[in-house]
Structure 1
């Protein structure tokens, strides 16, 4: 077993792995260095919001932090309010409270059991993995550990191609919306806000700013102009033919075949959501069966449709968005953005509407990039990942979805897996595809803890 382990990343994935390690009975105490990077340990960006308008898109009953206790979040919330149901979609900030409480409890138990946990509220600047350990550099300090785990979550978004430097410098083009939402003050001006992207991030941005800026108008541009699908108000019954569907897909790992059998299954089901949800426990293993060419075909042609269906809005969120559209405060556009420039009046986007060949322009007071998770390590400005990539210690997966790794989370270099360098969560999207939500992260944490503590 590895007794001295470094966990790099202070969000939900890092907190879940830390707590999982501290839950286990071990013969000797552990020494864990948790580099949280500042902020509140456990909450990260995903659950750092304090707004109750930002709603989880998974029901409360499925959001427990531990694989052994998937109902833990519901139990925590029912202690605060017994009327809460397992089918409810609750605010993300409440889930952040739960993560904080569970992490604090794990740390308290660790102390009583003799474990040494060092919380370092800074980033790791550099890292040198070797076969017998990993050396970490942070400021003037150097630390040697037996194993290290990257639990970095999503990366800071990069501006889209075509956005000029003047627009970025002006602050009128925003790549990371969460600080803007936290700092936005009530304002009655008739702001004209443009969003690029129309997924769950865009939905959060619109709902928050629409409440704080009651006279603002929002326009969202995306390739297809479609909002995420909506969860049913009540939980769907399990798809009764799920075992047969999964077996059929395993027998024919071909994306065209998969789309065909999915359409057939949906046509013969009472609720298409149950078909999609039945694949969730198997998505990662199915993804690994797909040949490279079929993965590429899926990402080019079907990814947008899958993510619309898979990452759905809570019913109350969909109702609020529908109301804004009915009031005329939210408009959706289909097309491709070509560029953004600063003007005397604000910012101007150049785009080509779907089905046309001529460029159009759109003027706004503010443009917010809301294109979803960024996990491409090839062009990131993240200091540690840049260093690891430059020195050849890690490599990108073939599609730029994260870090190349084995399904167990061991990071690859020169065709071989490091024996003591791992990742968990979003950075494994290229290997596992389904790797960003708590039901998957808690399972990864459990399995990784097994590896780290194995004799």
Structure 2
């Protein structure tokens, strides 16, 4: 096949979920003098795993007025939503409105918003969408990268942006022997497998965060009446939303916090201060979310690791909150005695006829419990530490020495300017990291608002390089000065 040639900077974004779509859109809106190509196998950009679902119980877990492609216009999605409903392009979803007037639409609706915002740029060819996967990568003589695609075509890139999102959950070792068995559902977003679950089935859900909540809400909608047990290391489920009447004024970055223990004390004091002002802990955590990158930057490697080891679960259950509609379902099932949250560690599984006997040890003791379940559903979250093995494109770049794993196991090693750190420890001159794969350096980088802010910085850097490309040539620009890894 003919390799794409262009005098302009050739930017190829691998992954067309929210991060990749947001970057492409921002580059187009900034009129970047670049050839913008997104390689994404799905039919629409901006969907990804989160927003491609058509399950009605799957809702955004951030209020609509804080979701946007454009970090400079935080309410863009809400404005689009209101307009679409007024024009009759979208049915009004009364269940999306909370008692406080906030909107939590279905996730597919947010995916449609992103798709519609991108549509004009796709129609004009400013953004090109190739429905394929990257199977391999080679380095050309001029230093550019040649991407081999699953449709047997090749494209050349002066800059590659990795926006592949989260790896799939890994099946825990104690249940790995059930792989392929009817009793194990390894993909929690497989609608066919969930629809096949018997209405009275005894279910064990591995994990207790947002993915488990999605699964439970889906099963409830399908009419499931059996008992559900959620087991996780701490037995904590995601919290719900509270009303924030004004933003917290607590400052977590001045003076800088240097130790994980200092951060914990600061958060506790901040919650008390905010409560004294009539606010709940939700305001405190929203402030933490805003200042997350600066807080993370102030911690050294040892304290980042300590924070993850001791406080990550507490952070996750307070930070990644349930949509109110889903919280209602969980509360009802707990009150009815049909849903139980257990803190413990699965030890072993064995088949027991059509069921599975599961043994686990309760947290903080030696008590061992054994129960039989009809289905085990894995919702343990993305296996971020195995992203290179999971994705052929990342694996190929790793073999070329252009990317390396983040030492904390959160994705890929990344510089302050979102460039990949290569095998020599230097900033890669060709590869940028967008979205959750850069979490190890930025800290808080999972939600759409944070991803939009991060990719705006990447877009600005690419635009600068694109301006110089016609003068110096794309290859020379790509070899220009870069920040050293922090």
Give the TM-score, by structure 2 length: 0.85
Deviation of the 1:205 alpha carbon: 0.4
- Does the 8 A contact of 1:127 with 1:137 survive in 2? yes
- Does the 8 A contact of 2:122 with 2:129 survive in 1? no
Deviation of the 1:392 alpha carbon: 2.8
After superposition, residues 96-115 of structure 1 pair within 5 angstroms as 96-108=111-123, 110-111=124-125, 115=126
Q: CA RMSD in A?
A: 2.2
- Does the 8 A contact of 2:167 with 2:387 survive in 1? no
1:20 lines up with 2:4 in the alignment? no
Aligned to 1:257: 262
Match of 1:222 among 208, 216, 232: 232
Aligned to 2:376: 367
Aligned to 2:322: 313
- Does the 8 A contact of 1:175 with 1:368 survive in 2? yes
1:355 lines up with 2:364 in the alignment? yes
Aligned to 2:176: 164
Match of 1:93 among 108, 128, 142: 108
Aligned to 2:83: 79
Aligned to 1:141: 153
Residue aligned with 1:177, SS: coil
Structure 2 stretches lacking a partner, 5+ long: 1-6, 87-91, 468-486
1:341 lines up with 2:350 in the alignment? yes
After superposition, residues 21-420 of structure 1 pair within 5 angstroms as 21-26=27-32, 28=33, 30-81=34-85, 87-108=102-123, 110-111=124-125, 115=126, 117-128=127-138, 132-139=143-150, 140-165=152-177, 167-179=178-190, 181=191, 184-185=194-195, 189-232=199-242, 234-240=243-249, 242-243=250-251, 245-248=252-255, 250=256, 252-270=257-275, 271-377=280-386, 380-413=389-422, 414-420=424-430
Deviation of the 1:24 alpha carbon: 1.6
Q: 2: CA distance between counterparts of 1:409 and 1:341?
A: 45
Residue aligned with 2:230, SS: strand
Q: 2: CA distance between counterparts of 1:410 and 1:129?
A: 17
Q: Which moved more, 1:139-148 or 1:416-425?
A: 139-148
- Does the 8 A contact of 1:53 with 1:204 survive in 2? yes
Q: 1: CA distance between counterparts of 2:375 and 2:120?
A: 42
Q: 1: CA distance between counterparts of 2:239 and 2:181?
A: 35
**Residues matched between the structures, number:** 441
Q: Which moved more, 1:347-356 or 1:431-440?
A: 347-356
Q: 1: CA distance between counterparts of 2:180 and 2:427?
A: 41
Structure 1 stretches lacking a partner, 5+ long: none
Residue aligned with 1:377, SS: helix
Provide Cα deviations, 1:420-442, integer angstroms capped at 9, x if missing partner.
21110010111111111111111
1:236/1:160 CA distance change after superposition, 3 Å = farther
Deviation of the 1:38 alpha carbon: 3.0
1:213/1:341 CA distance change after superposition, 3 Å = farther
1:377/1:184 CA distance change after superposition, 3 Å = closer
- Does the 8 A contact of 2:292 with 2:443 survive in 1? yes
Residue aligned with 2:112, SS: helix
1:153/1:33 CA distance change after superposition, 3 Å = same
Q: 2: CA distance between counterparts of 1:80 and 1:183?
A: 33
- Does the 8 A contact of 1:410 with 1:423 survive in 2? yes
Q: 2: CA distance between counterparts of 1:187 and 1:350?
A: 22
Give the TM-score, by structure 1 length: 0.91
- Does the 8 A contact of 2:388 with 2:398 survive in 1? no
Residue aligned with 1:20, SS: helix
- Does the 8 A contact of 1:3 with 1:31 survive in 2? yes
Deviation of the 1:31 alpha carbon: 1.9
